[in-house]
Structure 1
Amino acid sequence: MRRRLIVPVVMAAMCGTALVGTASSASAAVKAVDCRKVKCVALTFDDGPVADTKRLLKTLSDRNVRATFYLVGQNVARNPSVAKAIANGGNQIGNHSWDHADLTKLSAAKISSQFSRTDTAIRNATGLRPSTVRAPYGANNAAVRKAAARPLVHWSIDTLDWKYRDTARLIRTVTTQTRPGDIVLMHDIHKTTVSAVPGIITGLKSRGFHIVTVDQLFAPAKLPAGKVTYDNRKAYKP
């Protein structure tokens, strides 16, 4: 099980289009919200898909919530049906490299391969191409940003769920620390995290939050390719 690297100082709604071409659209059944006017948060899950991702997808579906999944290519190849279920549920899919390598330690050619192999695996499983990338450990440099050729979406709340396998702690962390425009980092490879999601959803909704995908969080703006984004806190104007 990989640990998260502690980097220095720690790291649309549907517009009437079908789920074709890019892995960024949310379900048409989800009501569009303007995150400049209401409190929004994007829940993101890294390192899957794994078998327990199906339990998470049921929770999201039952509560009419959509999330963003940053998928590892080799896990997509192992679990293509789960990747397809993520997309079919209206969730956003992002590229999280082929095998969770620290991309800053690889050559430019190997970085490109990490992204392209993952794109292919996701396309084979879902028919979609991820519209955003998340670098493993948040580790990036000019070569990584160039190879991504898409926005890099990192996070503003690191829950440390990989370190503290504590469902109650995770619920408390996300519920109390979230601010409008935040991007929350979690991992569906941990059963304690999947078990925390019902409580997280309840806690966030009790605070008036709308839980959205990354693309929805920034709509109608488009994130720039080759740039790293951590949150959209400035957008909310109550």
Structure 2
Amino acid sequence: MVIHALVAASLAFSSVPAQTATVNCARVKCLALTFDDGPGAQTSALLKALSKAGAKATFFLVGKRVEERPEVARQIVAKGHAIGNHTYSHAALPAHSDNDILDELKVTQEVIEEATGRRPTMFRPPYGQTDERVLGLAAQTELAEILWTGTTLDWQLRDTKKIKATVLKLAKRDGVILMHDVVPQTVTAMPGILKELKKRGYHLVTVPTLLRGKGPTAGKSYF
């Protein structure tokens, strides 16, 4: 009877999923790496590099690209990364009507939720172009606006050494760095970037982790 009880207890314990360790960014040096415009052809390779380094990131997804690669969007979520809305067609939002902006955001919400089972609570305006009207419409869509503290301009650099040097220059505690997972050189540079950032004592976390439970709040702009 004792043996049976021990076996039963062991089985019960093994059925409980292991808890994911949380990072307290109030106590340790945190940095959020963010990637826009995907999912793309290079995203899966980037996910492997992040997993190998034990790093988490935030991906702002374009709706039409999620439709093209829904399995990659699912992989992002399955690996424990955060996701956000980057509009359906990568539109410069302030130039559009209220209805068009709402369509860009709402359709992308639906596409991402259908692909991943997750409904984003964050969005990033393409090109960083935003205003109070855009922010108000995002609030109607229950989205917080996430900007950045530094951008690599990796789409322009297209050079692994320069991209790495730029990331390391921009890195700072509680920073949010903008990159693109559709830039092959960024993905190629990532293992070296992750190794050096960890060497410098950074904990690489998602944007929600960086916010320390104080967001994201719909209609609010961060960073």
Amino acid at match of 1:162: W
Match of 2:167 among 164, 169, 174: 174
Secondary structure of the corresponding residue to residue 122 of structure 2? coil
Conserved in 1, the CA contact under 8 Å of 2:53 and 2:195? no
CA displacement 1:22-61 (0-9 Å, x = unmatched): xxxxxx7652111111100000000000121010011111
Could you list the runs of 4 or more consecutive aligned residues of structure 1 that deviate by over 2 angstroms after TM superposition? 28-31
CA displacement 1:53-78 (0-9 Å, x = unmatched): 01001111122211100000000011
Amino acid at match of 2:65: N
What is the aligned partner in structure 2 of residue 145 from structure 1? Answer: 135
Q: Distance in 2 between matches of 1:213 and 1:201?
A: 14
What is the aligned partner in structure 1 of residue 47 from structure 2? Answer: 57
Q: Distance in 1 between matches of 2:51 and 2:216?
A: 27
Conserved in 2, the CA contact under 8 Å of 1:30 and 1:64? no
Secondary structure of the corresponding residue to residue 22 of structure 2? coil
Q: Distance in 2 between matches of 1:110 and 1:77?
A: 19
Matches within 5 A, 1:101-112: 101-112=91-102
Matches within 5 A, 1:1-238: 30-149=20-139, 150-230=143-223
More helix by share: 2
Amino acid at match of 1:158: T
Amino acid at match of 2:88: W
Structure 1: gaps of 5 or more residues: 1-27, 231-238
Amino acid at match of 1:227: K
Which structure has the larger Rg? 2
TM-score (norm 2): 0.88
- Which one is further off, 140-149 or 115-124? 140-149
Conserved in 1, the CA contact under 8 Å of 2:93 and 2:101? yes
Q: Distance in 2 between matches of 1:52 and 1:70?
A: 15
How high is the sequence identity, in percent, across the aligned residues?
A: 43
CA displacement 1:130-170 (0-9 Å, x = unmatched): 01110001111122111212210011111010110011111
RMSD: 1.2
TM-score (norm 1): 0.83
What is the aligned partner in structure 2 of residue 7 from structure 1? Answer: none
Q: Distance in 1 between matches of 2:179 and 2:92?
A: 18
Distance 1:29 1:207, change over 3 A: farther
Q: Distance in 2 between matches of 1:90 and 1:29?
A: 12
Conserved in 1, the CA contact under 8 Å of 2:28 and 2:203? yes
**Alignment size in residue pairs:** 203
Conserved in 2, the CA contact under 8 Å of 1:154 and 1:229? yes
Amino acid at match of 1:129: R
Q: Distance in 1 between matches of 2:201 and 2:54?
A: 15
Structure 2: gaps of 5 or more residues: 1-17
Q: Distance in 2 between matches of 1:31 and 1:170?
A: 30
Amino acid at match of 1:148: A
